[in-house]
Amino acid sequence: MKAIHVMAAMAAAVFLFGSGLAVAKPVLTQSGSVVGVREGGVTAYKGIPFAASPVGALRWMPPQPPLAWEGVRKATAFAPACLQTGVSMPGETPPVVSEDCLALNIWTPTPRAGQRLPVLVWIHGGGYTNGSAAMPLYWGDRLARRGIVVVSVAYRLGVFGFLAHPQLTAESARHGSGNYGLMDQMAALQWVQKNIAAFGGDPARVTIAGQSAGAMSVSLLLASPRAKGLFHGAIGQSGGVFEPEQLAPSYQLANAERDGEKYAASVGAGSIRELRALPAAALLTAAAAALSHPVIEPDVLPLTPYAAYRARQHNAVPLLIGSNAEEARSLVDVSAVKAATFAADIERRFGKLPAPLLAAYATATDAQAQQARLDFERDLRFGWDMWAWARLQALAGTQPVYFYRFAQRPPFPAGSVYANWGAGHFAELWYMFDHLDQARWRWSAADQRLAQQMASYWVNFVKRGDPSGKGLPQWPRYAGEGGAVMQLAAPPTVERHEPGDGLRVFDRVYEQVRGAAFWQE
């Protein structure tokens, strides 16, 4: 019967596509057959559902298995992105959106008979409020050509992905709510485990990777007992969740539930049943922005990533992580920052902060104040988390960690939205995906070489849990305080990691908040 089904699917593919496109042979998944298109030496399958549409009664429910279909399904167009506001990257074309969005995309080379290739599963960023698995910068064709299967996944965002509420907790057999976006990511990984072999992938060699909120998701999946066994390596780029939980009381379930009740009242809903009956557009209010964060609850995330590492209850896998030298340049406008009002401006933005933190970034001139503000935002939002994550992995001692600092300045055009970004947030993506060709900028030969090297490092890590390889500068493991860090610039060089005064002050302040030194009980 299976052979008859596949033959019928192949016949349908010919009917659907004719002879004008390089159509791949149909692939049979657990829900039905899909057919993709050969593009540039790889085959792309786009918009494959990995879960049922999370609408109606399934809104704010754990993802359910996708509905089966008959015949062949064309996997040649991306699915809409999940409902959101804004865009994840300045200059990005806003994606088409829908509440019916739980789909994934696959790029796979043609493996030799019986060969199973390692798999990279990409989790997009966007602060849990926006982003798309179909963003061109995330296309996996260039990495797939190097001998891996690349999968990009969607997940519910904002209030649709992270609403906690007492009634939702009561519905749950595991007594938790929120984290539906994280559940979607795990459902996609479960789909990969069940189906990726049909696309030439090896379910026993899956690496999760993400940037910004995608990297935060990677840190959370490492902490989740429900994600155990779903992946075998992890890559985190400029994002993690390691600050003291005392600084994020809204992440605790009881507080998140109260915030959920306030939100429901703000849209005129007295119950989850009434919330589920509202049109999706009515839920995208300004009040919803406060609900775009993970929740510490018994089901998906019983411990923070820091606590999971400390208890050695994290999902121990090889790790490649790092951040960018000038993260904040692409996120913060400092043109109006003045030395005279430096401390007051930060207090208005973040609330009252410990005096030692501000002292570490003290300035005398306006130019120094602008640079200090950029350094402060970089360290607060990315630098400390990545340094903490690297140390935790090294101290846990069971799996290696490879630590990087991206310092290359792409040739962003003057007068464009990217001008003055430098080695800012997002800048490494053009290189590690080897997608310099997507932007008609004045890329140098050094940029081209670095893109080739970074893509090779990432693919080597997916293949072997070690980024080093033939023709590349050796990338040593990070061994803890003062250990080696790979400076990703033209050319890549290994340096001793020096966290700097600002990061060290953050470390001391966070130790005071936790009431214990880093790594101690």
Catalytic residue numbers, as ranges: 212, 327, 425
Distance (Å, whole) CA 51 – CA 232: 22
On the question of a cis peptide bond just before residue 95, with omega within 30 degrees of 0, the verdict is no
Q: Show the 3-state SS of 171-211.
A: HCCCCCCCCHHHHHHHHHHHHHHHHHHHHCEEEEEEEEEEE
| Side-chain half-sphere CA neighbours of 87 within 13 A | 10
Strands 27-28 and 33-35: antiparallel
| Side-chain half-sphere CA neighbours of 113 within 13 A | 0
b/e map of 293-309 (b: 16 or more CB within 10 Å)?
bbbbbebbbbbbbbebb
Residues 6 or more apart whose Cβ sits within 8 Å of residue 240? 215, 216, 218, 219, 305, 321, 385, 386, 388, 389
Read off φ and ψ for residue 145, nearest 5 degrees.
Answer: -60, -20
The residue length of the chain stands at 521
Instruction: Decide: 511 and 468 in contact? Cβ < 8 Å.
Output: no
Compute the radius of gyration of the chain from its Cα atoms: 23
Instruction: Decide: 124 and 364 in contact? Cβ < 8 Å.
Output: no
DSSP letter for 220, please.
Answer: H
Instruction: Decide: 165 and 257 in contact? Cβ < 8 Å.
Output: yes
